[in-house]
Amino acid sequence: MHVGQDDLTPRTVRTIVGPDAVVGLSTHTVEQLQRAVAEPVSYIAIGPVFETSTKESGYMAVGLKGVADAARVGSQRGLPVVAIGGITLDNAAPVIEAGAASVAVISALLAGDPREQARAFLNRLRNR
């Protein structure tokens, strides 16, 4: 289950899905990151990393520094960070190198055959 800043809180979600479910929370600012680590989450999402037209979040792109900051905050609680927003085949590896455990991709998968695009991402990230 993944929730955003305007959705149910992770604590409320836990009462619904139970303690063993994977629950993630979107964050966009340092303040949101700091609050997120106090929640019962399995991972923290950070973004948008780069500008994207897929979904307007109302937040500025955090860049690779924002990913690194989120990874540092998350690691203090043993929480992986998922980077989202503007991730492409060309910038995915630097995002992982900045500290993200994984990337979430939408537009880049739809730039061609989604299966082939996903395969290209996996190959690129395995061979970085």
Per-10-residue mean pLDDT of the chain, 128 residues long, equals 96 97 96 95 97 73 97 96 96 97 93 93 88
Predicted pLDDT of residue 63 = 97
Predicted pLDDT of residue 69 = 96
For residue 101, what are its two tokens? 């455990």
Predicted pLDDT of residue 54 = 62
**Burial (CB count <10 Å: 0-12, 13-18, 19+), residue 88:** middle
Q: What is the pTM of this model?
A: 0.90
For residue 114, what are its two tokens? 């989604």
Predicted pLDDT of residue 57 = 64
Q: How many Cβ atoms are within 10 Å of 83's Cβ, its own excluded?
A: 30
Predicted pLDDT of residue 111 = 87
Compute the distance between CA of residue 55 and CA of residue 122 in angstroms, rounded to an integer: 24
Predicted pLDDT of residue 90 = 95
Domains of the chain with CATH codes:
2-126 (3.20.20.70)
